[in-house]
């Protein structure tokens, strides 16, 4: 009764499938079943929680570009399914590093969606990490990658990030680099390069969803 009323009064609909109602509908929730996989052996290994298939693309787009900030907790809960075993294996002594977002995109959206997603996921884990830190920053703007080939994405990302260096007289916990979607891996590779160059040990990379290997979840 509440869902049809919300649609009548507010025009609400499920951001995953467009069905009238408030929040993510039961069918879309049932369709998303996190099952973490190692999709790249590494080093460092890359883990993904989900394949990038319906209804996830619509949910991620709504969170990033349609001001549906309320989806952060749901997406974070799915990401936490992959983060939990990483923290357990490392004893919790790891720093979570969100992929840096473009400054213009953060201003346009009013939030840093990746950093928010990582914080939400860390709150959903039984073992707390050493912290969530923005160790990476963009050193230049990159092109929108939607229409770029694998090779073009690599060239687009190359040299585009720098990391806060580890002080020579201090020990720093290993880090886990986290992003929402992995398409070709170009962004993750650049993030890993920048972190390692600055003296950080990258334990692994973790993404909410993988768009390159859907058959792994067949």
- 158 with 145, same domain? yes
Counted domains in the chain: 2
Q: Considering the entire predicted model, what is its pTM?
A: 0.87
Q: Is the pLDDT of residue 3 over 60?
A: no
Q: What percent of the chain has pLDDT over 70?
A: 85
- 46 with 80, same domain? yes
How far is the C-alpha of 65 from the C-alpha of 53, rounded, in Å? 18
Print the domain residue range for 78: 34-217
Q: pLDDT by residue (tens digit) across 138-177?
A: 887 765 655 555 666 666 566 679 999 998 877 889 999 9
Q: pLDDT by residue (tens digit) across 6-57?
A: 444 445 899 999 999 889 999 999 999 999 999 999 899 999 999 999 999 9
Which residue's structure tokens are 């990302």?
157
- 14 with 62, same domain? no
- 138 with 193, same domain? yes
- 110 with 7, same domain? no
């Amino acid at each position: 009764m509440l869902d049809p009323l919300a649609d009548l009064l507010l025009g609400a609909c499920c951001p995953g499938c467009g069905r009238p109602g408030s929040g993510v509908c039961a069918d879309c929730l049932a369709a998303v079943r996190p099952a973490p996989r190692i999709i790249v052996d590494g080093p460092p290994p890359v883990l993904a929680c989900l394949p990038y298939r319906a209804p996830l693309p619509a949910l991620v787009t709504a969170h990033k570009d349609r001001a549906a900030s309320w989806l952060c907790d749901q997406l974070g809960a799915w990401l936490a399914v992959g983060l939990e075993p990483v923290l357990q294996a490392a004893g919790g002594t790891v720093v979570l590093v969100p992929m840096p977002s473009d400054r213009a995109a953060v201003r346009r959206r009013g939030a840093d969606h990746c950093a928010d997603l990582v914080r939400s996921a860390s709150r959903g884990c039984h073992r707390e990490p050493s912290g969530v830190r923005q160790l990476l920053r963009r050193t230049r703007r990159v092109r929108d990658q939607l229409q770029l080939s694998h090779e073009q994405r690599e060239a687009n990302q190359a040299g585009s990030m720098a990391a806060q260096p580890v002080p020579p007289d201090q020990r720093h916990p290993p880090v886990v680099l986290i992003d929402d979607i992995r398409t070709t891996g170009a962004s993750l590779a650049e993030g890993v390069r920048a972190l390692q160059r600055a003296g950080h040990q990258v334990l692994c990379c973790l993404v909410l969803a993988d768009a390159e290997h859907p058959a792994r979840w067949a």
